[in-house]
Amino acid sequence: MNDDELMAGVRGAFETLDPVPAGVLAAARAAIALRVPSATLAELSHDRAGRTAAGVRGTAGRVLTFACPGGTVEVEVEVAAHGRDRELTGRLVPPSAALVRVRHLELPPDGITARAEPAGLFCVPSVPAGLASLVFHLDDGTSIVTSWVRL
């Protein structure tokens, strides 16, 4: 018996005794399709729930801060709930114009897009609740992708 035959036997045993759920395989394939190879990762550095001032109606939004390694770029996003949807309002620091794309498991691969103005400000009005990530395609040709976060 060679290595390939041994591995085929082991694989067959696992598929029979403990098969991988279809949802796991679908999620793995989706994750590979959603990667942005040349982008710089901006990881979540702060997740703050807003505080509502006394006497003010409604609730304050949640503020997420993502930071690139070395602090070169920071992304600040305020998340406001509107029923099942979320409004994302934010800014790039330092300011830069960019195409903003929201990646979400319930959206098509192109996601929802918006534009960040030269001052770095952007707004995405209707994003479904759930896991999401933002991709910024800056005008200088570089890209920044945020880590996935539950909205």
pLDDT tens series, the chain, 151 aa:
899 999 999 989 988 998 888 788 777 776 666 677 788 999 999 999 865 555 555 556 899 999 998 888 999 999 999 889 999 999 999 999 999 999 988 888 788 999 999 999 999 999 999 999 999 999 999 999 999 999 9
pLDDT recorded at residue 26: 74
Residues 16 and 90 in one domain: no
CB atoms within 10 A of CB 1: 7
Nearest to 116 by CA among 94, 138, 145, 141: 138
pLDDT recorded at residue 111: 82
pLDDT recorded at residue 33: 63
Domain enclosing residue 8, as ranges: 3-32
pLDDT recorded at residue 24: 80
Whole-angstrom distance, CA of residue 107 vs CA of residue 111: 5
pLDDT recorded at residue 19: 87
- Structure tokens of 55? 């006497």
Report how many domains make up the chain. Answer: 2
Residues 126 and 70 in one domain: yes
Q: Which residues contact 82 (CB under 8 A, 6 or more apart)?
A: 126
Residues 142 and 84 in one domain: yes
- Beta-carbon-side half-sphere exposure of residue 57 (alpha carbons within 13 Å): 0
pLDDT recorded at residue 30: 66
pLDDT recorded at residue 21: 85
Residues 45 and 11 in one domain: no
81-119 core/surface letters (b: 16 or more CB in 10 A; e: else) = eeeeebbbbbbbeeebbbebbbbbeeeeeebbeeebeee
